[in-house]
């Protein structure tokens, strides 16, 4: 979604907060409209305006809006939870994914048992030639069968490699 065209007469939220003149070349103006003062204030409080500007300058213009949105999200997360920030949400979700993977594994194992029982029964009753072909019903690979470590480092493809947290976090002890 392209950024809205700014009105020249009115400063952007960033320049209003910083109390400076909002020029035509203000890099923050397209992403911090005056109507949304709160977003810039949060980002400025956690990261600082200069850091935000530097990070935007390093990113392609087409991706700057996404970058700003993610920074606003992380800043709000850090404000709400000064200790864990948005990393806390990642830990919770990683744990949830692991739980789901385990449940999938267990359920698939139970299904395999049923299929083995059925195959044994069929082979007993009718002989080995009547055994079914390997069932395609259980998709052993599944969506997450290859694990969740997709190693795609390019932001544009939106893949990621789960970066292992360097030390144990208390969240794991929930």
Partner 1 sequence: MTVKGGTSQACAACKYQRRKCSADCQLARYFPPDNPRMFQNAHKLFGVSNILRILKNLDPKKEEEAMRTIIYESKVRDRYPVHGCYGIIVELHCKINQAELELEAVNAQLNFYRQQQHHQMSQSSPPPNHSPPHLQLGNTSPINALPLFQQHPHQSYNDMASGINQQHNSLSNGSNGVVYNRNPEYVESKEGIVNSFWVPCNNSLATQPQFIATQAFPIQQVPEAPQDYDEMPVFFDTADDRQSYIESKDAYESSPESSLKDTKQPIEQVAENELKSAAAFFTLTSVN
90 part of the interface to partner 1, by CB under 8 A: yes
Query: Which residue, 9 or 80, has its beta carbon nearer to partner 1?
Result: 80
Query: Which residue, 8 or 110, has its beta carbon nearer to partner 1?
Result: 110
In Å, what is the CA distance from 105 to each residue of 109, 118, 137?
6, 20, 15
Which one-letter DSSP state was computed for residue 79? H
Window 1-40: residues binding partner 1 (CB under 8 A): 1, 39
Query: Which residue, 23 or 95, has its beta carbon nearer to partner 1?
Result: 95
Please report how close the Cβ of residue 101 comes to partner 1 at its closest, in angstroms.
7
Q: Which stretch binds partner 1 (CB under 8 A): 6-14, 19-27, 123-131, 157-165?
A: 157-165
Query: Which residue, 34 or 47, has its beta carbon nearer to partner 1?
Result: 47
Q: Which helix (H) or strand (E) holds 52?
A: helix 49-57
Query: Which residue, 22 or 68, has its beta carbon nearer to partner 1?
Result: 68
CA–CA distance, 52 with 44 (Å, rounded to integer): 8
Please report how close the Cβ of residue 28 comes to partner 1 at its closest, in angstroms.
16
Counting Cβ atoms within 10 Å, is residue 152 exposed (0-12), middle (13-18) or buried (19+)?
exposed
- Which string of DSSP letters, residue by residue, matches 56-107? HHTS-GGGHHHHHHHHHHHHHHHHH-TTTHHHHHHHHHHHHHHHHHHHHHHH
Extract the tokens encoding 137.
Answer: 């019903």
125 part of the interface to partner 1, by CB under 8 A: no
Q: Which stretch binds partner 1 (CB under 8 A): 9-17, 22-30, 124-132, 165-173?
A: 165-173
170 part of the interface to partner 1, by CB under 8 A: yes
User: How many Cα atoms are found within 13 Å in the side-chain-facing hemisphere of 56?
Assistant: 25
Helices 64-80/85-126 angle, 10° precision: 100
Binding mask 47-86 for partner 1 (x = CB under 8 A): xx-xx--xx--xx---x-xxx-xxxxxx-xxx-x-xxxxx
């Amino acid at each position: 979604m392209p950024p809205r065209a700014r009105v020249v007469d009115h400063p952007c939220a960033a320049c209003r907060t910083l109390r400076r003149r909002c020029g035509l070349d203000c890099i923050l103006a397209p992403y911090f409209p005056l109507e949304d003062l709160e977003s810039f204030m949060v980002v400025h409080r956690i990261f600082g305006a200069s850091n935000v500007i530097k990070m935007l300058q390093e990113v392609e213009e087409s991706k700057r809006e996404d970058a700003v949105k993610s920074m606003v999200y992380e800043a709000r997360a850090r404000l709400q939870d000064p200790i864990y920030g948005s990393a806390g949400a990642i830990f919770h979700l990683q744990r949830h994914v692991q739980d789901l993977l385990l449940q999938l594994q267990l359920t698939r194992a139970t299904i395999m048992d049923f299929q083995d029982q059925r195959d044994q029964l069929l082979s007993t009753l009718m002989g080995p030639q009547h055994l079914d072909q390997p069932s395609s019903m259980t998709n052993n690979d599944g969506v997450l069968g290859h694990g969740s470590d997709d190693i795609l480092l390019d932001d544009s493809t939106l893949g990621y490699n789960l970066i292992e947290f360097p030390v144990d976090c208390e969240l794991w002890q929930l």
